[in-house]
Amino acid sequence: MDYTTQMDAAKKGIITKEMEVVAEKERMDIEVLRSRIAEGKIVIPANKKHNSLSPEGIGEGLKTKINVNLGISRDCPNVDAELEKVKSAIDMDVEAIMDLSSFGKTEEFRRRLVEMSSAIVGTVPVYDAVGFYDKELKDITSKEFLDVARKHGEDGVDFITVHAGMNRRTAEVFKKNNRVTNIVSRGGSLLYAWMELNNKENPFYEYYDELLDICEEYDMTISLGDALRPGSIEDGTDGPQIEELIVLGELAKRAWERNVQVMIEGPGHIAIEEIEANVLLEKKLCCGAPFYVLGPIVTDIAPGYDHITSAIGGAIAASSGADFLCYVTPAEHLRLPDLDDMKEGIIASKIAAHVGDLAKGLPGAKEWDLEMSKARRKLDWEKMFSLAIDEEKARRYRKESTPEHEDSCTMCGKMCSVRNMNRIMDGKDINILRNDD
């Protein structure tokens, strides 16, 4: 092999098989794709050991992708049950699955996930460290944190989230700001606690070069986590968040010097009018690196409905230039999502991503909507079902409430505007009350 990573190949003018797959999926000129990978504006997370992967690109000019968070925990440690969710997520054509496992048979779950997943697989090594070493957080060493990252690389993980922007300087900025919700990032809070308990620098920041060695070896993309993302509307776009973003931009450049691919993670809870500015800030401060947003959730008052609040934010973020949406389920803030929660979260995120793609004018986006509109005009129910983002639900709703006349639904019956306009435009009579056809 004449290259170490996708970025290294791109810089050398080499077209990889992964680039060929992505270019075909995206209808993008392969030289444009290659050049943007070389610049860091597109990533193809593809660990050399992930043999079941169907490669996807994330970044400028590509379809907005979505990520699904899964994984076992102390309260829900059943590996097989969680893998059933994985199968469903893959069947629903998600582009990425993040394993957020934090307890129990994490290695077994991760390896089985990578083995079966055609989707990109991501992890957060700091979550795994406590269970892996069976140690309290304070007692884990810097080297041990890095060794977990290496273990994930060996297991075939395509990208890892590391909260390397939470350094001592960023932490001081946080301390000086009276935040309503402090630090809501799980990884960020763990690393902040570790730093405070040990009076040391964040190991992923202090030993960032060693981390880059690991990522380069396996071609594992780094997703630079936003440890100080806002957890409430009140904390949105504040000093700590922006301070960390500046550091993430610096770390992205250091990764690119080593040919390691990078994504930047973005805000969680944020006011709707601030979303576009946040995307612009990330693209500017991080030199066009792909932006991976966690929602964003646009109001704090809707537990049980945060798949909706995040879909609103995700649509605006995607239309403003965000590249990758982390799904949010109705269970957000409340519990581990069950299978139905996961499905609702996936559909909501898919809708948001498509809305963004329409705004971006990406190939095929508008055509999909146009085909649906044509099918509706013709009252071609089978075509409508086949085009629906959730075909199963569309079919079920139709079946559960069958109309008297096939060319209508139970909402309007023979007053259906589409039916009646078709008849009038064809020179026919409208028979709302009569029983003839």
Annotated binding-site residues for Zn(2+) read 269, 333
Cα 284 to Cα 164, 250, 291: the distances in Å are 19, 12, 11
Binding region: 69, 98, 127, 163, 185-187, 226-229, 265, 269, 292, 333, 409, 412, 416
Amino acid of residue 217:
E
Give yes or no for a contact between 133 and 144, defined as CB atoms under 8 angstroms apart: yes
Binding positions for [4Fe-4S] cluster: 409, 412, 416
CA dihedral 133, 136, 141, 142 (to 10 degrees): 100
Burial of 396 (0-12, 13-18, 19+ CB in 10 A): exposed
Give dist(CA 137, CA 320) in Å, integer.
39
Concatenating the DSSP letter of every residue in 193-223 gives HHHHHHT---HHHHTHHHHHHHHHHHTPEEE
Q: Are 296 and 310 in contact (CB under 8 A)?
A: yes
Neighbours of 231 (CB within 10 A): 21
Binding residues for substrate: 69, 98, 127, 163, 185-187, 226-229, 265, 292
d(CA 329, CA 119): 19
Phi-psi region of 27 (alpha: psi -120 to 50; beta: other; left: phi over 0): left
